[in-house]
């Protein structure tokens, strides 16, 4: 199998539905409150992405009509905002997060907006995926000392149609390798890379 990068044009000026706007406003308020109290519960690996831009990317992706299925998983879901955006987009969405505090806060946020998505506490890496990392690599994804979430919920990564990831600088290759090894055929990887930069990949057989 191999990954093929697909073009994805994002219209960040596209209007956002009012209920999604309210969700994003409340999300930002909850995240800002956390940052204001960061010293009380520091989480070194938490960084939020550009949620408005990710919303536009999900809409652009769905308009392409290339998704084989309806299931979405977010790697390292934090407060569950992207997981919620996927649910608003009509997807059956799950977020996986290693920090229990963030899972609990995210569940409160989703419940506040009656979002029927799931946030799982655990490692988003499938069991054994750490072996794909290069020797002496220093990827933050390898620091999550919690069991893989898939086994607990009786599923595998290849049960999902879309994977969303926001890798730390330098670990994007490792996460693509994990995706290529464990995701199902035709699964899509939506990878946020920074301001106004998002990449789309599809796993498919080698020709």
Residues in the chain: 207
Q: What is the pLDDT of residue 168?
A: 85
Q: Which of 173, 172, 201 shows the shortest CA–CA distance to 187?
A: 201
DSSP state of 40: G
Domain boundaries defined on the chain: 2-204
Q: How far apart are CA 134 and CA 27, in angstroms?
A: 36
Q: How far apart are CA 145 and CA 166, in angstroms?
A: 19
Tokens of 180: 């290529």
Tokens of 193: 């890379």
In this prediction the pTM is 0.93
pLDDT digits (tens, 9 = 90+) for 125-184: 999 888 887 654 666 566 667 899 999 999 999 999 999 999 988 889 999 999 999 999
For every residue of 83-137, DSSP letters joined together read HHHHHHTT-EEEEEES-HHHHHHHHHHHHHTT---EEEESBSSPTTGGGGSPTT-
Q: How far apart are CA 158 and CA 160, in angstroms?
A: 5
Q: How far apart are CA 47 and CA 54, in angstroms?
A: 14
pLDDT digits (tens, 9 = 90+) for 6-30: 999 998 788 999 999 999 999 999 9
pLDDT digits (tens, 9 = 90+) for 95-118: 999 999 999 999 999 999 999 999
Confidence of residue 194 (pLDDT cuts 50, 70, 90): confident
Q: Which CATH number fits domain 2-204: 3.40.50.300, 3.40.50.9100, 3.40.50.150, 3.40.50.20?
A: 3.40.50.150
């Amino acid at each position: 199998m191999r990954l093929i990068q697909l073009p994805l044009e994002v219209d960040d000026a596209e209007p956002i539905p009012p209920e999604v706007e309210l969700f994003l406003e409340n999300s930002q308020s909850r995240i800002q409150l956390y940052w204001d109290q960061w010293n009380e519960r520091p989480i070194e690996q938490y960084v939020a992405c550009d949620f408005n831009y990710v919303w536009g990317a999900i809409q652009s992706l769905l308009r392409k009509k290339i998704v084989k299925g309806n299931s979405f998983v977010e790697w390292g879901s934090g407060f569950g905002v992207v997981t919620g955006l996927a649910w608003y987009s009509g997807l059956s969405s799950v977020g996986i997060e290693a920090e229990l505090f963030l899972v609990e806060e995210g569940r409160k946020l989703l419940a506040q907006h009656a979002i029927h998505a799931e946030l799982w506490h655990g490692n988003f890496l499938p069991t054994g995926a750490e072996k794909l990392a290069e020797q002496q690599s220093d990827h933050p994804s390898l620091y999550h000392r919690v069991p893989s979430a898939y086994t607990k919920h009786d599923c595998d990564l290849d049960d999902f149609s879309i994977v969303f990831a926001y890798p730390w600088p330098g670990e994007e290759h490792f996460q693509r390798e994990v995706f290529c090894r464990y995701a199902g055929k035709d699964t899509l990887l939506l990878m946020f890379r920074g301001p106004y930069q998002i990449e789309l990949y599809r796993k498919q057989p080698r020709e």
